[in-house]
Amino acid sequence: MAIVKIELDLDWISEEGDLDSAIKEEVISSLQARFTQQIEKKTEKILEEKLRESTSRVTDDFLTTIMSEKINNIQIPYKSSGWSSEVEMLSVSEFVGKKYEEFLKQKVYDKDGNVPRYRDDAKLSIHEYFINKYLEKELLGKVNDLIRTARQDAEETIVKTLETNLKAQLSADIINRLNIPNMLKNLQEKAAMLERGEE
């Protein structure tokens, strides 16, 4: 439910005008003023957002276009050799690529991966050092795995072979000690005697 407060200034009501029409006009004009204010505020916010978006987009596009054109046109002098006086003019991307290649080829580590005190002690470049470390780690892991599996396989094979040999030797030894062929012969004789005795 909406509550509307109305304040009337009765001084301006003329003698011919009635109170109802004056109240009606005042209510309508105050409601119109409120709606107009709300619409103006909302419209202002929407316009500000749209202007901010379009301004930033246009500015970004403009700066990107201008800067890319400027950067593409920039030429950097590059001397490929310390002994020659020949200078190449390179674009920024080519210059960065050349410097990166030089950086990767430059020897900066000793064989242990430490930065040497003297430049002549440097034996490895950055990528050589990291490739060696990676290969060492990978190979060491794989070799350790191979050794572990080979050791397990060898132990299992030895245990199975010993077990088989022991069983074979124990079986032959037990048969000889128990004199099983003589036992079987005696059992057959007793069985034959029992059969005869029972008949």
Domain membership flag for residue 117 = no
Number of domains in the chain: 2
3-state secondary structure of 78: strand
Domain membership flag for residue 145 = no
* Domain span at 82: 76-105
* C-alpha–C-alpha distance, residues 101 and 45, integer Å: 53
Domain membership flag for residue 49 = yes
- Residue type at 50 in one-letter notation: K
Note the pLDDT tens digit of each residue in 66-121: 887 777 778 888 887 777 788 888 888 888 888 888 888 888 888 777 788 887 77
88, 68: one domain:
no
What would the DSSP string read from start to end of 83-125? Answer: S----EEEEHHHHHHHHHHHHHHSEEE-TTSPPPSSGGG--EE
Domain membership flag for residue 90 = yes
* C-alpha–C-alpha distance, residues 168 and 160, integer Å: 12
Domain membership flag for residue 80 = yes
Domain membership flag for residue 82 = yes
Domain membership flag for residue 22 = no
* C-alpha–C-alpha distance, residues 138 and 119, integer Å: 30
Query: Is the pLDDT assigned to residue 63 strictly greater than 70?
Result: yes
To the nearest whole number, what is the mean pLDDT of the chain? 81
- Residue type at 55 in one-letter notation: T
55, 44: one domain:
yes
46, 83: one domain:
no
What would the DSSP string read from start to end of 141-169? Answer: HHHHHHHHHHHHHHHHHHHHHHHHHHHHH
Query: Is the pLDDT assigned to residue 46 strictly greater than 90?
Result: yes
Note the pLDDT tens digit of each residue in 2-34: 676 766 565 555 556 566 777 778 888 888 989
* C-alpha–C-alpha distance, residues 148 and 154, integer Å: 10
60, 84: one domain:
no
Domain membership flag for residue 45 = yes
